[in-house]
Amino acid sequence: MGSVGDCFAGAVIESFWGRMQTGLLNHRRWKTRIEPANAIFDYLETFHNRRRHSALGMRTLIGYKILYANNQSA
């Protein structure tokens, strides 16, 4: 990510948490702690991991993982 004192060190994760809070967590009340945990898991598996990320060259996380694995074996 960044070095000590770099203003962009947490930009990617801050963007992720902000998007998840406004798109998922702030829209309803949860009765148990299991409900938001399951909602977060579903959000990650169905939306976040399958969308294209600018930080990865507009690749999906799955596509980037495959590309990385292929580059490591070559």
* Confidence label for 54 from pLDDT (cuts 50, 70 and 90): confident
**C-alpha separations of 29 from 21, 33, 44 in Å:** 13, 11, 19
Do 74 and 66 contact (CB within 8 A), yes or no? no
Q: What share of the chain is helix, strand, coil (3-state, %, to 5)?
A: 65, 5, 30
pTM, entire model = 0.56
Work out the average pLDDT over 10-28: 83
Query: What pLDDT does 50 receive?
Result: 78
**Within the chain, what is the greatest distance between any pair of CA atoms?**
49
Domain ranges in the chain?
11-73
